[in-house]
Chain A
Amino acid sequence: MRTHKIEQLVIATVGFFWCFLMWFSTAAFSPSIAAAYHLNIKELGLLASSAIWMAPIGRIIAGWASDRFGAPRTFALILAGCGLMSIASAYTTSYELLFIERVIVAIAGVSFVVGIQHVAQWFESNEIGTAEGLYAGTGNVGAGVGALLLPRIFGTSYQSAFLWLGVIALFIAVWYLLRGQAAKTVERRDTARAASSLRGTVFVWSRYIAIALMLAYAMSFGLEIAMNAWLPGYFSRGFNDAILALGFTSVAGVQIAAGTFAAVQSFTASLFRPFAGFMSDLFQHKGWTPLPFIAKTLPYAPRLHWLGIALILITLAMGALTLAGLTGTLHMSVLVLVALGIFISFGTGGTFALVPLLFPDRPGIAAGFIGGVSTAGGIVYPLIFAGSANIHMGYLYVALYMFVPFVLFYLWAARYERHPEEHGLFAPKLAGESA
């Protein structure tokens, strides 16, 4: 079958976009579901949080499966399984069953690492940043499109939405299976398949640089999903007077204003992501290596520097967010949030411009580990934000006690001038690497 890498990029991007749409479709209709089943605020919170439950372990398995069986088969299985479950949930009348079905539909979110692996198997190192950025950034928009368009198209009829999302997912699954090809060359596909053993998994998980990239992704994507959940409540509580002063007097009005400020972070973080990948390519093209400590002679050293800059900017922006909050300036706080969203995109795009280069033989396993474990940040950060005595201080605490050590670890792990992937908790041979 004749194909082109752009066709493979388009298939992966459309598949991921649709999976993201399914992933967050429950949240888009949560008010309708809450009204239909008379849910209280705790049950509503549980329903909202359930979307992320399957991500850490699911992404790890999906990453391994894409190396083992190829991305097209793995992605088609996810689309078909989640699509069928989405269709089933359209006809469910019991809330308990609906909840379980929607948790299973949320498995669609694990498809991210499968597409990352697929794109990595097709694009060369000089364009991988832009290619992965276009895939992930455009796909991520599915979440925003879902929140904006689904309630406007289907109104309160979440059953119709779940039905149509499921049916179209089945068509995309067939398309992916028919037109998708696992890798550019048979050799590349076979290399990934051969390296997808348990020993290969232990090797990746125990590498310092893989752990550093996982923490970098926890600082970026983990923070992004944490902020999605946290920010509406933060603005409505932390800036209540300022929002009232804008003219939003009702509870619904305050929610809309707070939701708008929160959405700015999510939107910029998603849509600037391809630009971050492009910047990684640009750093590579120009050979820029401005940071101290980090390797300067590695073939992909400039990309390591670009990610380092992104992580430092995220840490600084978190401190600035606390500062803006303490001064009580709503405008300043929103402005810092826009910057934070952009810096987060630099981190997410920068991380996955590196993963396929550091682990070219195991792109799926590496993407699964780095993209999976890091999502735990989405659960941890809001707990710290909510646990602070002053609602504005949580960002600074996270920056000082988590992000600064993460950045230092990244600088340390990225300092090797030759084969950073050979350094880890075990010697490469013990960890299953023969070379």
Chain B
Amino acid sequence: MQPTTAQVPHEPWYKYGVAFLFLEMVIAIAVSAYSLYMTFHGLGGFPGKH
């Protein structure tokens, strides 16, 4: 593996990899927001119900 500063075009898999990581981020934000909403309203949250 040779490090390079030249702008090498990405291979086709790369866009799917990036899409997957954005999906993971959306899941992280959604689960965090849901858990915090539940907890700040006294309804429970991760890891179980109140």
Q: A261-B39, A264-B35, A356-B1 given as contacts; is B25 within 8 A of A271 (CB)?
A: yes
B30 to chain A, nearest CB (A): 10
- From B7, B13, B20, name the one whose CB has the most chain A CB atoms within 10 angstroms: B13
User: Bound state CA distance, A106 and B13, in angstroms?
Assistant: 33
Contact of B27 with A271 in the complex, beta carbons under 8 Å = yes
Q: Which of B18, B31, B42, B46 contacts A130 (CB 8 A)?
A: B18
Write out the residue numbers on chain A whose beta carbons fall within 8 Å of the beta carbon of B20.
134, 274
* Set of chain B residues within 8 Å of A357, measured between Cβ atoms: 1, 3
- Chain B residues with CB under 8 Å of A253's CB are 44, 50
- Distance, CA A259 to CA B45, complexed state (A): 9
In the assembly, what is the distance between CA of A246 and CA of B39, in Å?
8
Q: By the criterion CB–CB under 8 Å, are A130 and B35 in contact? A: no
Task: Check if A128 sits within 8 Å of B1, measured CB to CB.
Answer: yes
Residue of B nearest to A127 (CB): B14
A126-B8, A246-B39 as given contacts; A260 in contact with B45, CB under 8 Å = yes
Looking across the interface, which residue of chain B has its beta carbon closest to that of A147? Answer: B47
In the assembled complex, which residues on chain A have CB atoms less than 8 Å from the CB atom of B14? 127, 130
Taking A268-B28, A272-B25, A274-B24 as contacts, is the C-beta distance between A260 and B36 under 8 angstroms? yes
Contact with A along B6-46 (1 / 0, CB 8 A): 01101101100110111011011001100110111110111
Q: Is A285 an interface residue (CB 8 A)?
A: yes
Identify A248's interface contact among B5, B48, B50, CB under 8 A.
B50
Do A331 and B21 have beta carbons less than 8 Å apart? no
A256-B47, A271-B28, A274-B24 in contact; A246/B10 too (CB < 8 A)? Answer: no
Q: How many residues of B contact A (CB 8 A)?
A: 36
> How long is the Cα–Cα vector from A162 to B40 in the complex, in angstroms?
35
User: Quick check: B5 and A263 within 8 Å, CB to CB?
Assistant: no
A357 vs B42: C-alpha distance when bound (angstroms): 48
Closest chain-B Cβ to A260's Cβ sits at a distance in Å of: 4
| A332 sits at the interface (CB 8 A) | no
Interface string of A99-136 (1 = CB under 8 A from B): 00000000000000000000010011111101101100
Count of chain A residues with Cβ under 8 Å from any Cβ of B? 52
Contact B46 A263 (CB under 8 A): yes
Main secondary structure of the interface of A (DSSP, over half): helix
* Residues A257 and B39 in contact in the complex (CB < 8 Å), given A133-B21, A134-B20, A278-B21: yes
**A97 close to B (CB within 8 Å):** no
Chain B residues lying within 8 Å of A263, measured Cβ to Cβ, are 35, 46-47
Q: How far is the CB of A358 from chain B (nearest CB, A)?
A: 9
A127 vs B15: C-alpha distance in the bound complex, in angstroms? 11
C-alpha spacing A246/B50, complex, angstroms: 11
Q: Is the CB of A127 within 8 A of B21?
A: no
State which of A125, A134, A257, A268 has its C-beta within 8 Å of the C-beta of B3: A125
A24 within 8 A of B: no
Which A residues touch B4, using CB under 8 A?
125-126, 299
Q: Is the CB of B46 within 8 A of A260?
A: yes
A263-B47, A357-B1 given as contacts; is B10 within 8 A of A126 (CB)?
A: yes
Closest B residue to A264 by beta carbon equals B32
Would you mind naming 13 contact pairs between A and B with Cβ atoms under 8 Å apart? A125-B4, A126-B10, A128-B1, A130-B14, A130-B18, A148-B46, A257-B50, A260-B45, A261-B36, A264-B35, A270-B28, A274-B24, A298-B3
Question: Which 5 A-B pairs give the minimum distances between C-beta atoms?
Answer: A247-B42, A271-B28, A274-B21, A260-B45, A299-B3
